Amino acid sequence: MTNFRSFARRSFILPSVLSFGLALVLLAGAACTKKAENTNEIVVGEYGSFSGSEATFGQSTSEGVKLAFAEKNKLGGVKGKQLRLISLDNQGKPEEARAAVQRLVTQDRVVAVLGEVASSRSLAAAPVAQQYQVPMITPSSTNPKVTEVGDYIFRVCFIDPFQGLVMAKFAALEIKKKRVAILRDVKSDYSTGLADVFAAEFKKLGGTIVADESYQAGETDFKAQLTQLKGKNPEAIFVPGYYTEVGLIARQTRQLGMSIPLLGGDGWDSEKLSELGQDAIKGSYFSNHYTTESTEPVVTEFIRKYREAYKGKTPDGLGALGYDAANILIEAMERTTEITPKNIRDEIAKTKNFVGVTGVITINEKRDATKSAVVVQVDGKVNRFIKTITP
């Protein structure tokens, strides 16, 4: 097999218009045979859902990561070495996620791994990174269990106990709902964890959970569950799922004659949400990691660069988190005396007051980040900023 073919097979295909810097990252990848042994480069792995029903999660994250790497390489790389990224597609499947990390660590001998977005896939793969003592940073998995896997596993996003509290407070105190129903994905660690926190916090605030129904990702007909919910007369429905199902759920909710808002978490964040949910999702609210409406220079500058690199595309929260995760890794590598997985791990753990696009990031003793969240309202393709909530 030629180098090019093996490279092409394992790499996610970028949009055809690449900035010069991004093209360099790819060329560096195609040019060498003994990847990890080339001392002029540092090889980092990334795994994500580049295809499947959560494809925008992996694609957006990867765009953010590649932008950060290209910028650094243009400035001469880390300690004079170019960064090379190997991206593996897990198609949104936990077992593939695990296999991808196994391969990145044992065959490609990467010094660090970035990924996954979805908590269930991070949970499937993190034990491999931990076992081989290669640091892993998930940009966006919010379930608390992910970093509990071990001392090599980090995240740069907030966690669901906070996100669930944010939405419970928003439901009870801002839009003043008393009766809320839940529709959760029972196969997703993220969805069940977030649903449980929301329910507990909403009840503490005096609200009632009038119904708690479930589905599994991949289902397309939610009418039976929604009919059950409708019978309990809720004022809003909390749907802590991912965009593909949420879009369909929104439409079917309206088809059944319910005009109440849906509420959700970061898993809604995708350019596909409004395409799938159309008018039915308009006006609904979800908690997220950043807002494109921010006027902070670090955010506006990031959006400008991202649009320039990716055909005018506006970065979603995942693009922003991928960029932050990659830059935290880059800074940690810069601080090491020698680039080894152990040294990188130790430096990631020391991250303090890193000014990211998604907020100021300090890694705490649980290897999590304490950060604020925003609540946004879906308005066509744009998610309107409503409120920032700090821990």
CB of 2 to ligand PHE, least distance (A): 36
User: Is residue 181 within a helix (H) or strand (E), and if so which, with residue range?
Assistant: strand 179-185
Tokens of 228: 């059950």
CA quadruple 311, 331, 299, 387: dihedral sign: positive
Contact call for residues 292 and 314 (beta carbons, < 8 A): yes
Could you tell me the smallest distance in angstroms from the CB atom of residue 60 to ligand PHE?
8
Contact 223, 190 (CB under 8 A): no
DSSP string, 60-115: HHHHHHHHHHHHHHHTT-BTTBEEEEEEEE-TT-HHHHHHHHHHHHHTS--S-EE-
Using CB under 6 A as the binding rule, whether residue 142 contacts ligand PHE is answered as yes
* Element housing 124 (H / E): helix 119-132
137/115 Cα distance (integer angstroms): 6
Contact string (CB under 6 A) for ligand PHE, positions 268-287, x = contact: -x------------------
Closer of 245 and 266 to ligand PHE (Cβ): 266
Binding mask 47-66 for ligand PHE (x = CB under 6 A): ----------x---------
Closest among 117, 114, 71 to 304, alpha carbons compared: 71
Part in contact with ligand PHE (CB under 6 A); list of ranges 45-53, 115-123, 324-332, 366-374: 115-123
Interacting span for ligand PHE (CB under 6 A) from 137-145, 210-218, 228-236, 380-388: 137-145
Give the x-and-dash track for 195-224 against ligand PHE (CB under 6 A).
------------------------------
Q: How is residue 308 written in tokens?
A: 């320039």
Q: Kindly state the smallest distance separating residue 117's Cβ from ligand PHE, in Å.
A: 5
Pick between residue 77 and residue 94 the one whose CB is nearest to ligand PHE. 94
Tell which one of 119, 252, 291, 358 touches ligand PHE (CB under 6 A). 119
Contact window for ligand PHE (CB under 6 A) among 35-43, 93-101, 174-182, 263-271: 263-271
- Pick the binder of ligand PHE from 94, 234, 317, 341 (CB under 6 A): 317
Instruction: Give me Rg for the CA atoms of the chain.
Output: 21
Closest CB to ligand PHE among residues 320, 333: 320
* Residue in 49, 73, 87, 140 binding ligand PHE, rule: CB under 6 A: 140
* Cβ-based burial of 39 (10 A; exposed 0-12, middle 13-18, buried ≥19): exposed
Q: 201 and 263 in contact (C-beta within 8 Å)?
A: no
- Evaluate whether 133 touches 111 at the Cβ level (below 8 Å): no
Between strands 382-389 and 373-379, the pairing is antiparallel
Nearest residue to ligand PHE by CB is 190
Nearer to ligand PHE, 29 or 193 (CB): 193
The residue within the footprint of ligand PHE, chosen from 48, 240, 267, 341 (CB under 6 A), is 267
Q: Which is nearer to ligand PHE, 49 or 327 (CB)?
A: 49
Nearest to 269 by CA among 254, 256, 285: 285
Q: How far is the CB of 130 from ligand PHE (least distance, A)?
A: 18
For 360, the token pair is 């100021």
Q: Residue from 62, 82, 143, 292 that binds ligand PHE (CB under 6 A)?
A: 143
Task: Report in angstroms how near the CB of residue 118 gets to ligand PHE at its nearest.
Answer: 4
Select from 25, 70, 118, 239 the one that contacts ligand PHE (CB under 6 A). Answer: 118
Here the contacts of 144-148 (C-beta below 8 Å, separation 24 or greater) are 144/193, 144/368, 145/119, 145/189, 145/193, 146/119, 146/122, 147/366, 147/367, 147/368, 148/366
Question: 336, 347 in Cβ contact below 8 A?
Answer: yes
If the CB atoms of residues 73 and 244 are measured against ligand PHE, the closer one turns out to be 244
Contact 119, 54 (CB under 8 A): no
**Which residues lie near ligand PHE (CB under 6 A)?**
57, 117-119, 140-143, 190, 266-267, 269, 317-318
